[in-house]
Amino acid sequence: MKRINNPQALEEIREEIVGSRDPDKPCITICSGTGCHAFGCERVTEAFEAELKKQGLEERIDIRTTGCHGFCERGPIVVINPQKIFYQRVTLKDTEEIVSETLRKNNIIDRLLYSHPQTGEKIVKEDDVPFYKGQMRIIFGNNGNIDPTSIEDYLAIGGYKALSKVLTDLSPPEIIDMIKKSGLRGRGGGGFPAGVKWESCRNAPGDRHYVICNADEGDPGAYMDRSLLEGNPHSVLEGMMIGAYAIGSDEGYIYVRNEYPLAVNNVSIAIDQLRECGLLGENILGTGFNFDIKVNRGGGAFVCGESTALMASIEGQAGEPRAKHIHTVESGLWDKPTNLNNVETWANVPLIINKGVDWYTSIGTETSKGTKIFSLVGKVNNTGLVEAPMGMSIREIVYDIGGGIPGNGKLKAVQTGGPSGGCIPESLIDIPVDFDRLTEVGSMMGSGGMIVMDDTTCMVDIAKYFLNFLKDESCGKCTTCREGTRRMYEILDIITRGEGKEGDIELLEELSWVVSEVSLCALGQTAPNPVLSTIRYFRDEYNAHIKDKRCPAGVCKALITYSIDEEKCTACGKCKRVCPSDAVTGEKKVPHKIDPEKCIRCGACITECKFDAIEVA
Amino acid sequence: MGPQAIDRILKKYDYEHFAIIAMLQDLQDKENYLPEKDLEYISERLSMPLTRIYRIATFYNAFSLTPRGKHLINVCLGTACHVRGAARVLDRLKMALGIDVGEMTKDRLFSLETVNCLGSCALGPIVVIGNDYHGQMTPARVESTIKKYRKKSPRKKDEKD
């Protein structure tokens, strides 16, 4: 693309791009997020290309590979524009039919449509699918409309308009004032007001200021930042550029997990495009603003999501947090004033500038404005990324958007906030989701992971799972965190092995207090949350393990036995074939049996049995 | 890796000490792990104490100081995969391969590792072998999945254990 030297040139190029595109031209949009990649969307794309060629339609029909549409459960997702026909679970075999039926004759293929789980009604348009209908996709929605590797696509939907506006019309204090008034709070977990942070950083003395985008999304079960960077990298970069201008910074960093190769790739392409057309570099849009961005790949340490650890990592050190009596906005990266925000926070910025503070503050609750992207995962029908206005209840998210619990399962708890968060029991799922209410009930917003658990999830096992994670990820600097999380894990392990004793719960509570009070960074301070929240709401499950030596959810191996329900068993022999320890016996046409001595409780027979005949007690 | 190839990596980052993590990532991308002699060479070229390089290499989970097998198997143990039974899949993989997490099979075909979340939660439990994602994994499917990779790479006659 040619250089864009001033705001007028930007608008001219935008008009040129929009003018050259026919909005009514048919377009096959194929989701190419990591989820759909795993389902083989690349091969589907190739098949479409070959099919269009074969039928001589390359000129008349476009193909666009986009970022994540969010409904990962149903991938590969294909949307036919301009009608917005939503096809799900599209395979190679379907491509020929889609081209010859839908694109040529405008016939809709019923079997590829999404059918409403309750009514069975077939739904044609993407917006009418219940998963999307309940959402408010102001940040995430464009993912489905643009090719993330095309700057033209981003410009066509109004990209860099906000940047051009702030550089020409607004002074840095005016921008900061807007962000403060918008009530934008950090989406990475803490929920600190972004505008206040920007102001402190701007006012901090120093010859150089830095801005950082934290894309070290470490919370297991959360992937909204990855999908934003993959699917709409320019929106994040535009936010960073506006922030840099407001703060007075000329250098920015994106610290992204190396486990996200597609995100690293797409954001690097976007940066190269910006440099090429002069939107990054010196004298941006002829306004005298200089700014450039570097990409740093993380090393796979969870603690590097903490701001001071992340900065140490960029400096080439081991990622250990430091005490924050001097804030990073005053002394951060290379001891210079540094402003760090998370991916989703940055992506909110252009929107606030474009649509205004009044519009933005009309969304959300009193103390939490705007929307939040949640990753709705675990035991829920519609797994995927959900963008909802702050204040929506967990019930609405899980049932209306998420389609409820699969099979005959019963909702038991929803875990939010990653390893620093807690489990919210079914009795509290009507609370509105915002930063403050989640903290009140003993959890937190975190980066937006929302893991749904049903009655086959053991809460003691979940607490053990998180403590296992945290003991491994503790950087080791503070004794309480390094040793405390280990001791807590050991106690939980003993309980799940059926060797727990009276007083273990109290000991866990005591240790929790010490770990949270004495540790330096949020990892240690919040490490006991998964334990405390499960004890608070599911104490009877702990007691069942300790006193009755029983795991009510049927998870803890030492406390369960497998058996076969003779009524349900059809003697098909599947379980016998998959059993790795030869524990299943039985002849043809005779219900099978499991030898509890030989059984290693690996679960292979459960996943194979089509008749639900394996019982766990 | 030869000294020239390593120098190319170091030069890419202007021999800057702060880029050590990126340098080690590039080295590992090529070698599959961080060979000791290469780290010694980097230490010499950068005038950086080997202890500091060792600290970085052992602090960050992504680095391995021991060789990895031809196919790296990564089992996602994120929360979403966990509640859908990832631990049972991992147990079965350990059994099928006869190795523990962090180890390599004797024939050098497989290494087994775990990762805390791949962000492909909708597909959980997920197992990644090389660059291939295997979603909605079950303990029963473990054997047949590994078998495909055994077939893909028949052992060479001159290969030793």
Above pLDDT 70, what percent of chain B?
A: 94
Q: C-alpha distances in angstroms, A581 versus A230, B87, B92, B141, B146?
A: 44, 18, 11, 15, 18
Cα angle A564-A566-A572, degrees, rounded to a multiple of 5:
80
The chain B residue lying nearest A577, using CA atoms, is: B140
For chain A, what is the mean pLDDT?
Answer: 93
pLDDT tier for residue B153 given thresholds of 50, 70 and 90: low
Distance CA A528, CA A511 (A): 8
Q: Is the pLDDT of residue B160 over 80?
A: no
The chain A residue lying nearest B77, using CA atoms, is: A220
The arithmetic mean of pLDDT across residues A315-321, rounded, is 94
Q: Is the pLDDT of residue A610 over 50?
A: yes
Cα angle A407-A409-A413, degrees, rounded to a multiple of 5:
140
The reported pLDDT for the residue numbered A39 is: 84
Distance CA B69, CA B153 (A): 12
- For the domain made up of A21-144, the CATH class stated in words is alpha beta
Tokens of A129: 């699918």
Tokens of A345: 């926070």
Reduced to 3 states (helix: H, G, I; strand: E, B; else coil), residue A416 is strand
Distance CA B63, CA B27 (A): 10
The reported pLDDT for the residue numbered A232 is: 96
Most B CBs within 10 Å: which of A230, A557, A578, A605, as the mutation test of the B interface? A578
DSSP result, A231-259 = H-HHHHHHHHHHHHHHHT-SEEEEEE-TT
Interface contact B61-A379, CB threshold 8 A: no
The reported pLDDT for the residue numbered B151 is: 81
Q: Which of residues 115-134 of B touch A (CB under 8 A)?
A: 115-124, 126, 133
Q: Which of residues 24-63 of B touch A (CB under 8 A)?
A: 25, 55-56, 59-63
Q: Which CATH architecture has domain A561-616?
A: 2-Layer Sandwich (3.30)
The chain A residue lying nearest B140, using CA atoms, is: A604
Question: pTM value?
Answer: 0.92
Interface contact A580-B95, CB threshold 8 A: yes
The reported pLDDT for the residue numbered A353 is: 97
> Distance from CA of residue A167 to its chain's centroid?
32
Task: Give the domain ranges of chain A.
Answer: 21-144, 159-360, 371-454, 459-546, 561-616
Phi, psi of A317 (to 5 degrees): -105, 170
Domain A159-360 part of CATH 3.40.50.11540: yes
Please list every residue in chain A whose beta carbon sits closer than 8 Å to the beta carbon of residue B55. 318
ipTM of this predicted structure: 0.88
Interface contact A220-B79, CB threshold 8 A: yes
Judge whether A546 and A495 are in contact, CB under 8 Å: yes
Judge whether A213 and A343 are in contact, CB under 8 Å: yes
Q: Is the pLDDT of residue B161 over 50?
A: no
The chain B residue lying nearest A263, using CA atoms, is: B119
B75 contact A CB<8A: no
pLDDT tier for residue A324 given thresholds of 50, 70 and 90: confident
pLDDT digit string, tens, across residues A169-199: 999 999 999 999 999 999 988 899 999 999 9
Cα angle A420-A422-A427, degrees, rounded to a multiple of 5:
165
Distance from CA of B158 to the nearest CA of A (A): 32
- With b for 16 or more beta-carbon neighbours within 10 A and e for fewer, the A220-253 pattern comes to bbbbbbbbbbbbbbbbbbbbbbbbbbbbbbebbb
Please state whether the peptide bond connecting residue A148 to the residue before it is cis, i.e. omega within 30 degrees of 0. no
Distance CA A502, CA A97 (A): 65
- Bridge partners of A553? none
Reduced to 3 states (helix: H, G, I; strand: E, B; else coil), residue B12 is helix
Mapping DSSP onto H, E and C, the string for A139-204 reads: CCHHHHCCCCCCHHHHHHCCCCHHHHHHHHHCCHHHHHHHHHHHCCECCCCCCCEHHHHHHHHHHC
What CATH code would you report for A459-546?
A: 1.20.1440.230
Instruction: Considering only the beta carbons, identify the residue of A226, A300, A600 that sits closest to B62.
Output: A300
Tokens of A256: 């992204």
- Kindly report the number of other CB atoms within 10 A of residue A254's CB atom: 27
The arithmetic mean of pLDDT across residues B84-107, rounded, is 92
Phi, psi of B151 (to 5 degrees): -65, -40
What angle, rounded to 10 degrees, do the helices at B50-59 and B20-31 form? 70
Would you say how long chain B is, in residues? 161
B138 contact A CB<8A: yes
Interface contact A316-B122, CB threshold 8 A: no
Q: Which residues contact B156 (CB under 8 A, 6 or more apart)?
A: none
The chain A residue lying nearest B132, using CA atoms, is: A38
What CATH code would you report for B71-152?
A: 3.40.30.10
What angle, rounded to 10 degrees, do the helices at A233-247 and A224-231 form? 100
pLDDT tier for residue B159 given thresholds of 50, 70 and 90: very low
Residue B104: DSSP 8-state: B
Please list every residue in chain A whose beta carbon sits closer than 8 Å to the beta carbon of residue B118. 34, 259
Tokens of A71: 């409904």
* Per-state percent for chain B, helix, strand, coil, to nearest 5: 50, 10, 40
Which amino acid, one-letter code, is at A151?
I
The chain A residue lying nearest B58, using CA atoms, is: A318
Distance CA A225, CA A127 (A): 23
Sequence-ordered strand ranges (E) for B20-141: 71-76, 110-115, 127-129, 132-134
B77 contact A CB<8A: yes
- Bridge partners of A450? A376, A416
Please state whether the peptide bond connecting residue B35 to the residue before it is cis, i.e. omega within 30 degrees of 0. no
Q: Which residue has the higher pLDDT, A533 or A117?
A: A533
Above pLDDT 70, what percent of chain A?
A: 100
Q: Which CATH architecture has domain A371-454?
A: Roll (3.10)
Distance from CA of A229 to the nearest CA of B (A): 13
Judge whether A32 and A79 are in contact, CB under 8 Å: no
Distance CA A135, CA A353 (A): 22
Contacts 24+ apart (CB under 8 A), A203-206: A204/A329, A204/A330, A204/A331, A204/A337, A205/A337, A206/A336, A206/A337
Distance CA A34, CA A42 (A): 11
In terms of Cα–Cα distance, which of B3, B132, B44, B21 is closest to A256? B21
Task: Give the domain ranges of chain B.
Answer: 3-59, 71-152
DSSP result, A300-344 = S-GGGGSHHHHHHHHTTS-------SS-TTTS-GGGS-EEEEEHH
Please list every residue in chain A whose beta carbon sits closer than 8 Å to the beta carbon of residue B119. 34, 217, 222-223, 226-227, 259-260
The reported pLDDT for the residue numbered B155 is: 52
CB pairs under 8 A between A and B: 156
Among the residue ranges A137-141, A346-350, B139-143, the one predicted with the least confidence is B139-143
The reported pLDDT for the residue numbered A64 is: 94
Phi, psi of A596 (to 5 degrees): -65, -25
The reported pLDDT for the residue numbered A119 is: 84
Please list every residue in chain A whose beta carbon sits closer than 8 Å to the beta carbon of residue B21. 296-297, 299, 313, 316
Q: Is the pLDDT of residue B158 over 60?
A: no
Distance CA A392, CA A585 (A): 51
Q: C-alpha distances in angstroms, B1 versus B12, B20, B38?
A: 16, 17, 7
Above pLDDT 90, what percent of chain A?
A: 79
Phi, psi of A303 (to 5 degrees): -65, -20
pLDDT digit string, tens, across residues A36-74: 888 889 999 999 999 999 999 999 999 999 999 989 888
